[in-house]
Amino acid sequence: MSEDMIKTIKGLLSMGRGNPKRLREIIETAKSGEPIVMSDYRYIQNLLESPDGADAEQSQAIPQPKRDTSLEVLRIRLAEGQISIEEFRVLKKAITDEE
């Protein structure tokens, strides 16, 4: 995982968003060089995308619309550290603007 993702998670912690224990565990996993699991990655993404800072664990109970395959590929590449969060945002914007 890239340093950008760790900085992003630390930013969520500093803003008081999400579950601090879970976010710290994700940071420790990333620092150890282990890939984060997809559920943790989605948790981070939900926290980043929710405008009111609602906890993603609560919002996961709400059915999510089916996502575009290309957007899922981007999410996976970000989770694996292949692209930075900034690259993800640029590519996501390009994908969603085309539709």
Q: If the chain, 99 residues long, is cut into consecutive pieces of 10 residues, what is the mean pLDDT of each piece?
A: 78 86 90 85 89 51 54 80 88 75
pLDDT at residue 22, as a whole number:
92
Task: Find the largest Cα–Cα distance for the chain.
Answer: 38
Number of domains in the chain: 1
78, 86 in Cβ contact below 8 A? no
Residue written as token pair 């590449």: 77
Predicted confidence at residue 52, as pLDDT, reads: 61
Task: Report how far residue 92's alpha carbon sits from residue 5's, in angstroms, rounded to the nearest whole number.
Answer: 16
Q: What share of the chain is helix, strand, coil (3-state, %, to 5)?
A: 65, 0, 35
Query: What are the structure tokens assigned to 89, written together?
Result: 């945002």
For residue 93, the model assigns a pLDDT of 85
pTM greater than 0.85 (yes/no):
no
The answer to whether 13 and 24 are in contact (CB under 8 A) is yes
Domain containing 12: what range?
A: 3-98
Residue with tokens 């009111």: 52
Angle between helices 20-31 and 38-49 (to 10 degrees): 130
